[in-house]
Structure 1
């Protein structure tokens, strides 16, 4: 495995032969294949990039057909110009006023291809990571949009069947190095690779001031509703947030590569986010990729290639993380289809004012991150 610092010292030919790797089941950027072309004797100064919108998938083409996470951004923000990246030729688009958008067709390697491309200077770039999610019905409704202050990793943990848990345990999921659920690890070296408990955190802190600024800018943005979704809300007796029309809120994102569903696992997600954020975070959205995206961005941030304080995460709800009262869990798992288009629409509607504000007043925000005291 080649560390990124070593990667920067390799020849261009060697860089083409590198690839991404895994650490303890979580994708880490260890090397990047085919991202850089041979440099000419004299290279133009890299372009300072202002804002990048990052989506995770697209259905079919980027425009003109059934939308995915990227299409409304492409069509409404006029991301009309494809930009080929070596190793990822079909993921990046450029729009007016210098806005860039990308869809991670090949996962985090697409991020690497962009960040390591010498044509771009991303040190002052604002990143808006977007996408649809399952939502906790205690926090919000389908179609709602949440600005995150933390992204929490739900992958590396210990698990036993819930039917075999010791008496008093709420479920069979707990932190590696801890002795029961809802406890932080007591052994800082349980992975054999770290020496401080602070290095074991499963929470990626975002810039809370920037998140609050984005929320304040968009909290009154009107969000579309849907007749079928409106009728479905009636089933959520006892869950007032789930019965509200779509709205904008602040709340945390939990990323897990396994697709989980149901009330017991939602209870675990609420507890897990609370545990790793020191009681300051509130679980709202669940998805399968936020944690790996943020791990890669932190890797590049340590190298000075991106600024982690300029990262924003906006997730919109396509479905609930558990079934309505009285509905079997197997009848609701994977039911994000009816709410997807509404969530795609909400994502661009809520995120666009933030993007446009940053672009319109770039001379102000280039050096001064909004939301700082």
Structure 2
């Protein structure tokens, strides 16, 4: 019995030895390692135009926010990238362009697509000038339909507390107020802890852009002619008591407020004025409301902290397709979504005002690569 066990044990040991020899032989005879792929040298991107939506294709059909850029700047080279529903486009002068909007993005994803582009190893965005463009609702106290506003601030209008306006105290103008505050038009003072983030220093809702660069762009384009139309002239006549709303389309400086909700009406417009003033310390003037600026600005801010982009090179240009509140004599219900002819002129205004800045940056890239323009206007 012991002999049998010893014999079996010997067989096991012999088998293990043979297996070890086989493994050693296989290891010595294995294929040489696969050579590493050569490192990709990122392409330095000079200027990129970022739009938000198109009703169809980028070229050849009814225009949206991007089509005039794609067609007139001949952005014919198509560069797909992971995470983007639409491809990046490029022309022979080195101008890039991209837009996000599609039915899929109604559930979100605008910021995620931008971050996917920023993380693409094929591109170097550290010296890139960014022009974020799009149409907006305009405050009729500040601008007329078709007007174009260069922003000094991007203000976030999503993160707040909200009560039904019919249920607020009688001395409140509306039911929207800052998290950590006790009433509208108050900065957070941390009366109710919200994960330790309800003081004004931590819950900052406004991103200050480079004011010198914005002023430089405004000075270059302030006399740009913007097309007018009989339809717009007729609509402007209704704005008695609002001199800026009755002006033909013009270029101005004014802040953009981004919020995912499409809001409209006198109460919400007053909230927007107050909210922008509150979070910019009285320095900003509400001009344009839209649904994307806050998400894109937040993504850029995160990317800048990682050294992927330079926030001093970011421009935001919004153009008015409609007022944010009805003219005298109409209700909000009667006027909401009434963009009509204003949308087409806003697309045109967007391109005509933005293009001179883009062309200047590309033409004189040797000057602007390492020196951001507008240092004399930094206040």
The reply to whether TM is greater than 0.5 is yes
Q: How many residues align?
A: 335
Structure 2 segments unaligned to the other structure (5+ residues)? 1-34
Deviation at 1:356, TM superposition (A): 0.3
Does residue 1:253 correspond to 2:256, yes or no? yes
Deviation at 1:43, TM superposition (A): 2.1
Deviation at 1:333, TM superposition (A): 0.4
- In 2, the alpha carbon distance for the partners of 1:305 and 1:153 equals 22
Deviation at 1:189, TM superposition (A): 7.7
**Cα pair 2:84 2:100 within 8 Å, conserved:** no
- In 2, the alpha carbon distance for the partners of 1:254 and 1:350 equals 20
- In 1, the alpha carbon distance for the partners of 2:230 and 2:198 equals 54
1:1-373 paired onto structure 2 within 5 Å: 41-88=37-84, 90-105=86-101, 106=105, 107-187=110-190, 190-194=193-197, 197-373=200-376
RMSD of the alignment, in Å? 1.5
- In 1, the alpha carbon distance for the partners of 2:204 and 2:85 equals 35
**Cα pair 1:188 1:200 within 8 Å, conserved:** no
- Encode CA deviations 1:93-124: one digit per residue, 9 max, x unaligned: 00131100000134222212211111100001
- In 2, the alpha carbon distance for the partners of 1:218 and 1:158 equals 39
Quick check: 240-249 or 223-232, which moved more? Answer: 223-232
| Structure whose CA Rg is larger | 2
**Cα pair 1:72 1:344 within 8 Å, conserved:** yes
- In 2, the alpha carbon distance for the partners of 1:281 and 1:56 equals 24
- Structure 1 residue runs of 4+, over 3 Å off? 193-197
**Cα pair 1:259 1:288 within 8 Å, conserved:** yes
- Encode CA deviations 1:127-159: one digit per residue, 9 max, x unaligned: 000000000000010000000000000011111
**Cα pair 2:238 2:328 within 8 Å, conserved:** yes
**Cα pair 1:189 1:196 within 8 Å, conserved:** no
- In 2, the alpha carbon distance for the partners of 1:53 and 1:188 equals 42
